Amino acid sequence: MSQASTEIVRMSGHAGTVPGAGLNREFQVCKLVDTTTCIGCKACEVACLEWNGYTFSETTFDNSYQTMPETAWNYWNLIKFNEHERDDGTMMLLMRKDQCMHCEDPGCLEACPADAAIVQYANGIVDFQEAHCIGCGYCITGCPFNIPKFSPAAHKVFKCTLCNDRVSVGLEPACIKTCPTGCLHFGTKSEMKELAETRAQQLRSQSGFPDAGVYDPSGVGGTHVIYVLHDAKNPELYGGLPKDPHIPWSVKLWKGPLKWLGNLAIVGGVVGLAWHYMRFGPKKEEEIKPDDGRQP
């Protein structure tokens, strides 16, 4: 997992080849969040702030445990609480650690126009390179998880890095390091997937959660942060986790067919006008002639 920074496989807004593309990796990293063993202690929120050097932000109180409504440019990791009433009338406190999902097919990167402002490393981490960020906010439009956040002071966008700086020197992310219940795991994607499936199976067969399952949405090519949910059929219950996330179709249309159609139209227009000039030449004024009023 080390030396990730030499192995960029995708870059935003980049013309030409990408250094590191095609490099053969043994494994891709993954964070596993088991929502069924999370106690909502928010130690991961604090660890994230500590490691990344942000001070604690002002919190909002909304009669729940919620620290603030959503992540912020300087608050990348947030537990979402939902007091969920089940069909039998009993209450469940659903808690989900919200952060960047590190999509295999990242909408932020797709939408970004700035050369190398967003990169995807060979180990799966999607990282913002703020030095190259122009602050346009297109990544905010491209993300199906509401993760990139704009800093009005810096005019740049920030989000969870999956502790790329730690991972690249062989350490686990700060949130994983601090989790007291062990509901957070970090390893290779295949290991985490296996662990998650085992846990989901356990929940289905032993804990009375017939709909327990793993959240690794295929609409964005899978993610490098995956969840175990008691009710995988209703991920929205967990603080609005989208059921079938995908890059917005308008972003795909814009970056796909529209781009080629537009380029063709611009080039075709210039060629057409040049052709017209060569074929018909300039329009010249004519001498004033006695007007018999016969002009049509």
Partner 1 sequence: MTSGAVSHPNAASHNEDLVPRYSFGERANHWIGAFAYIYLLITGLAFWSPYLFWLAVIVGGGPTARFWHPWLGLVFTASLCWTFKEWHRDMQITEDDRRWGKAIPYYIENDDDKLPPQGRFNYGQKLFFWGIFYSVILLLLSGIVLWETDLVPWDLRFLRYTAVLIHVSVALITIGLFLIHVYMSAILEEGSFGSMIHGYVTRAWAWTFHRTWYYEVTGRSRPKQ
Q: Which residues sit at the interface with partner 1, rule CB under 8 A? A: 13-15, 70, 111, 113-115, 132-138, 140-141, 146, 149-150, 152, 155, 157, 248-251, 253-254, 258-259, 262-263, 265-266, 269-270, 273, 276-277, 280-296
Nearest in space to 120 (alpha carbons), one of 246, 244, 28: 28
Q: What is the DSSP string of 102-170?
A: -BSS-HHHHH--STTSEEEETTS-EEE-TTT-----HHHHH-TTS--EEETTTTEEE---TTHHHHTTT
> Toward partner 1, which CB reaches closer, 61 or 249?
249
CB of 293 vs partner 1, minimal distance in Å: 4
> Toward partner 1, which CB reaches closer, 155 or 233?
155
Please list the residues that pair with 61 across neighbouring strands.
none
CB of 134 vs partner 1, minimal distance in Å: 3
> Toward partner 1, which CB reaches closer, 92 or 261?
261
CB of 78 vs partner 1, minimal distance in Å: 13
- Per-residue buried b or exposed e for 135-171, using 16+ beta carbons within 10 Å of the residue's own CB: ebbbbbbbbbbebbbbeeeeebbbbbbbbbbbbbeeb
Nearest in space to 74 (alpha carbons), one of 56, 101, 97: 56
Q: Are 141 and 64 in contact (CB under 8 A)?
A: no
> Toward partner 1, which CB reaches closer, 82 or 188?
82
> Toward partner 1, which CB reaches closer, 57 or 202?
57
> Toward partner 1, which CB reaches closer, 210 or 262?
262
First to last CA, the chain: 79
* Residue 230 main-chain phi, psi, to 5 deg: -65, -35
> Toward partner 1, which CB reaches closer, 55 or 289?
289
Q: Which two tokens stand for residue 112?
A: 């970004």
Please list the residues that pair with 92 across neighbouring strands.
84
CB of 290 vs partner 1, minimal distance in Å: 5
CB of 168 vs partner 1, minimal distance in Å: 26
Q: Tokens 């060979």, residue?
A: 122
3-class DSSP assignment, residue 74: coil
CB of 170 vs partner 1, minimal distance in Å: 33
CB of 245 vs partner 1, minimal distance in Å: 12
